[in-house]
Copies of this chain bind each other. A is one copy, B any other.
Amino acid sequence: MTVTAPKGFRAAGVTAGIKTSGNRDVALVVNDGPSAAAAAVFTMNRCEAHPVTWSRKAVADGSISAVLINSGGANCFTGAFGYETVEVTAAAAAAKLGIADTDVLVCSTGLIGAGDQTFRDGVLKGIDLAYDALGTDTESGEQAADAIRTTDSVIKVGVREGTGGYTIGAMAKGAGMLAPGLATMLVVITTDADLESAALDAALREATRVSFDRVDSDGAMSTNDTVALLASGASGITPDTAEFTELLRGLCNDLAKQLQQDAEGASHDITITTMGAASETDAVNVSRAVSRSNLFKAAIFGNDPNWGRVLAAIGTTDAEFVPEQIDVSMNGAMVCKAGTPYVPVDQVDLTPRETTVLINLHAGDAEATILTNDLTHDYVHENSAYSS
């Protein structure tokens, strides 16, 4: 059910003491091959964390044999010492595994600015513990998925089976700072398919473009986002790339949905679809503008079908539309038709957690969907009551 589902992968998740909570905080995922082909996408945030800087370089040759992940500290804006920590810990993991330093992808998540000597010692201890705990079983994979959690209330995992018997497995974390920038969280995807890194890269970019890039829970782009795809080739199957991409996209969508459903403090999962757009870009921009309106998000929390806030958000975009032609539906009721009130708002039931907003711009044939959440007291509480 997770990264150990495909042949050729071992994983572990251990408690190294980085988190004061005593929860698991270091995960290791190892690709035993025969292939070490890999691809990864990273945050577009220009203030990127040290592990991202390292990992961009590490994956540049298309080869990665292990992913080292810690929670409990982002190792971002931690100065030269922070980058050195990435080098030191990658080297330690590589030495244990008998691989090159640059075949270790490193990911961190937690508080920005956290990454001192204690943090480094914790990661190093975690590497030793994790190495000893590595296993190919489901439990090992689930423990790895558990170790990468921060404010996530549940683990996020998934698996897909391809034609001929190859498998794709995945784990993800992410509950806050969920907004696009290629990747928007930490995700490790494994497969025993036999594919070159260029094919993996193309499939990964296509899959993330329409999945993780379209989760916009709180408009805040993380400094540490990484989605890595590792292929062991252990199934001996080289799949059709179209099928592989489609499976990967489905898996990424599944994980994106899991992220949305576990977003910090949310009480509604809101699917905003814009159709009738002149271009896919227009559709994405319109859906995203609505997903970033605090007034709209607070109204949904209050079960208030305040469609005027949807239109006010649409009006901030440069998408092609004529205001007097726009339709807006909420949970199936067209509350605004051609820019005018239509179904009375008291006929809209917004009490279910699953909420849909459908916008028709009547300007073309393109459409796109953004997944977001409502703005709740719990969101404010979770993000004000303690640093994360």
Report A's interface with B, CB cutoff 8 A: 44-48, 74, 76-79, 111-113, 176-177, 181, 218-223, 292-295, 298-302, 304, 306-309, 311-317, 321, 323-324, 326, 336, 338-341, 375-377, 379-381, 383-387
Contact = CB atoms under 8 A, between A and B. Distances in A.
Contacts of A340: 77-79
* Interface SS of chain A: loop
A323 B383 contact: no
B386 A221 contact: no
A313 B74 CA distance: 15
Contacts of A376: 380
A223 B176 CA distance: 30
A121 to B, nearest CB: 18
This chain: copies in complex: 2
A324 B46 CA distance: 11
Nearest to A47: B315
A340 to B, nearest CB: 4
Nearest to A76: B308
* Most interface-central of A176, A294, A381, A385 (chain B CB within 10 A): A294
B221 A312 contact: yes
Contacts of A223: 308, 311-312, 315
Nearest to A312: B223
A321 B47 CA distance: 10
A218 B386 CA distance: 22
Nearest to A313: B220
Given A302-B383, A302-B384, 5 more contacts: A46-B316, A46-B323, A220-B293, A220-B309, A298-B383
